[in-house]
Amino acid sequence: MHLECLQLSISGKTALVELARPDQLNVLDEQALNELEFVLNHLLEQGVKAAILTGQGRAFAAGADVKAMAEMDERAARAFSLKGNQIFQRIEEHPAIFVAAVNGYALGGGLELALACDLRLASSKAVFGQPEINLGIIPGFGGTQRLPRLIGPTRAKEWILTGRRYNAQEALTAGLVLEVVEPEELLPKAQALAQELADKSGPILALAKRAINASTGLVDQNGQTEAGLFASCFTYHDGMEGLKAFVEKRKPQFQDR
């Protein structure tokens, strides 16, 4: 597959996967998801043991394509959510260890992508958030499942129900990221961590990852529950109003229906 949304480089048993549409803030649309799925298969075939996931420009990934979502009906929304959920679950179940190097905006689906990774490092310029509630919808790529596991249900409810943005230090305090470093230090730090992991036994790393994931409880299987609830948002006036208002760059007029 010719990659247009991502760039992939493999060195030994480590890989660097970059979201490579900085002019679009590395939006996670259907094409990006398809390319990510291809890359996951390729990493498996190449026996990669540790992979860094980062973004080019000022965003890690600023979420899904809101303009496209504004045109979706309930059925299309469910299919889109299931696709993202299932691909992100493959990251969680992949034998390689994934290190998210969050360089900038990690919002909505972008944050959910980072949540699916095993370890997260952040630039001091990183910004985190699940702003979907402000659009009249809910997270659709696993955020309602993984965020509570990582920062606790009470804090996760704050993040998801308010739709606020949080800086790197706040994410560190919440336990979401391992470390906050200056922007120029982020990739070298991630590469050093990836190499440290790649020096271990690949099969044993994979077994340890499976065991730890099992201890935290299984994510909603294949995203069925979250996808159904996400799709339900598209049957409400407020869901469509929120998305349209974002596209039209105005404040949504929610009517509680």
Q: Which tokens hold the place of 255?
A: 């009517």
Q: How many CB atoms lie within 10 A of CB 192?
A: 10
- Please report, in angstroms and rounded to a whole number, the separation of the first and last CA atoms in the chain: 43
pLDDT value at 187 more than 70: yes
Within 8 A by CB and 6+ apart from 222, the residues are 82, 85, 86, 89
Tell me the whole-structure pTM to 2 decimals: 0.91
Pairing, β 127-129 against β 50-55:
unpaired
Q: Which of 18, 92, 132, 226 is labelled catalytic?
A: 132
43 and 34 Cβ atoms separated by less than 8 Å = no
Which carries the bigger pLDDT value, residue 228 or residue 9?
9
Q: Which of 18, 35, 92, 112 is labelled catalytic?
A: 112
DSSP codes, 111-172: HHHHHHSSEEEEETT-EEE-GGGGGT----SSHHHHHHHHH-HHHHHHHHHH--EEEHHHHH
Check the CA dihedral 99-31-103-127 and report its sign: negative
Task: Note the pLDDT of residue 132.
Answer: 96
What is the pLDDT confidence band of residue 213, given thresholds at 50, 70 and 90? confident
Please compute the mean of the pLDDT values over residues 220-249 and round it to a whole number.
Answer: 79
What is the pLDDT confidence band of residue 220, given thresholds at 50, 70 and 90? low
Task: Note the pLDDT of residue 108.
Answer: 97
Task: Note the pLDDT of residue 226.
Answer: 75
C-alpha to C-alpha distances, 114 to 101, 117, 255, nearest whole angstrom: 8, 5, 33
Please compute the mean of the pLDDT values over residues 117-135 and round it to a whole number.
Answer: 98
179: Cα separation from own chain's centroid: 18
138 and 84 Cβ atoms separated by less than 8 Å = no
Please compute the mean of the pLDDT values over residues 128-145 and round it to a whole number.
Answer: 95
Which carries the bigger pLDDT value, residue 230 or residue 47?
47
pLDDT value at 52 more than 90: yes
Task: Note the pLDDT of residue 43.
Answer: 98
Task: Note the pLDDT of residue 239.
Answer: 77
Check the CA dihedral 133-137-140-142 and report its sign: positive
pLDDT value at 176 more than 90: yes
Task: Note the pLDDT of residue 185.
Answer: 99
Domains of the chain: 6-184 (3.90.226.10)
Distance CA 81, CA 76 (A): 9
112 is known as an active-site residue: yes
132 is known as an active-site residue: yes
Please compute the mean of the pLDDT values over residues 10-21 and round it to a whole number.
Answer: 98
Instruction: Work out the percent of the chain whose per-residue pLDDT is above 90.
Output: 79
